[in-house]
Amino acid sequence: MSKQGQRVILSLRQMIVNGDLAAGERLREESLAERLGVSRTPIRVALKLLAQEGLLQTVGARGYAVRQISTEEIRNAVDVRGVLEGMAARLLAEVGLTESVRDTLKQCLDQGDQLFSRGAIDEGDVVTFHDLNMTFHNTIIDNCGNGAVKSAIMLNDHIPFASVHSIAIDSSAMDREYLRLTFANVQHHLVYDALINRQGTRAESLMREHANAALRYAEIFGVGNGDRGSVKILRSDLTAD
């Protein structure tokens, strides 16, 4: 896969993710080729790969549109991620933490604690916690010793909003966001405790539940109901290499 080929895939992914290509929108090789300033050939390759990746759906006998994903599909994918991340935590508890893994996780916890230590948060804090959250999750997944789990999580993460990479920030409900995120931070503590104590089943259950922190907890804590202007979706997935 050449540089240009990869750039085309990345660009199309980005356009899908940031809404330049809207859900349900019909994609035509020729217009995309014009838009990206290349011939149809790399577009055709990219469309097939993105379709296989799950970002596109076929239209009629041939051709693609940006895949429309229902709320139910997102929830289903979040559940699958919970189960897989739970498995990763269990495996890590079983094999035990190296010094360096332990340090990384501990650092996430400490920085999370510090973030919440003043009793309130702003948008920047949400983003910071989001990064810590990603590091915490990825450290567990990357060190659990089972590459098939990581693959399965990555493939499942192609459902937008199901992954740990997405956050929504509702600036009109920061007090409730504070509550939600401090709870999630405590969950991290509990997972860590289970890990260092080699409690695989406990780690699995905790981590499985923790997958609900983004969507379900947002609902439960009444986050994300602010007007359009106060809700920001940040996406850092799918556009990475």
- Residues that bind its own copies in the complex, under the rule CB under 8 A: 1-2, 44-45, 48-49, 52-54, 58, 62, 73, 76-77, 79-80, 83-84, 87, 146-149, 151-152, 155-156, 159, 162
Q: Write down the least CB distance from residue 5 to DNA, Å.
A: 4
Angle of CA points 178, 73, 142, to nearest 5°? 65
- Pick the binder of DNA from 13, 42, 215, 221 (CB under 7 A): 42
Q: How many CB atoms lie within 10 A of CB 218?
A: 20
Distance (Å, whole) CA 188 – CA 89: 11
State which residue, 4 or 201, has the beta carbon closest to DNA.
Answer: 4
3-class DSSP state for residue 231?
strand
- The reply on whether position 40 binds DNA by CB under 7 A is yes
3-class DSSP state for residue 215?
helix
Pick from DNA, its own copies, none: which does 156 bind, CB < 5 to 8 A by kind? its own copies
Contact 181, 234 (CB under 8 A): no
Q: Write down the least CB distance from residue 16 to DNA, Å.
A: 15
Q: Write down the least CB distance from residue 29 to DNA, Å.
A: 4
Per-residue CA distances from 231 to 174, 176, 224, 234 (Å): 11, 14, 6, 10
State which residue, 58 or 197, has the beta carbon closest to DNA.
Answer: 58
**Which residues does residue 232 pair with via DSSP β-bridges, in sequence order?**
169
Nearest Cα residue to 205 out of 87, 92, 79? 87
Q: Write down the least CB distance from residue 218 to its own copies, Å.
A: 19
Q: Write down the least CB distance from residue 22 to its own copies, Å.
A: 22
- Pick the binder of DNA from 14, 28, 135, 193 (CB under 7 A): 28
Distance (Å, whole) CA 75 – CA 62: 29
- The reply on whether position 63 binds DNA by CB under 7 A is yes
Q: Write down the least CB distance from residue 51 to DNA, Å.
A: 10
How many helices (H) and strands (E) would you count in the chain? 10, 5
- Pick the binder of DNA from 10, 14, 25, 44 (CB under 7 A): 44
Q: Write down the least CB distance from residue 210 to its own copies, Å.
A: 16
State which residue, 115 or 164, has the beta carbon closest to its own copies.
Answer: 164
Distance (Å, whole) CA 144 – CA 9: 30
State which residue, 163 or 185, has the beta carbon closest to its own copies.
Answer: 163
Please give the radius of gyration of the chain, using alpha carbons only, rounded to the nearest integer: 19
- Pick the binder of DNA from 18, 22, 30, 222 (CB under 7 A): 30
Distance (Å, whole) CA 209 – CA 220: 14
Size of the site for DNA (CB under 7 A): 22
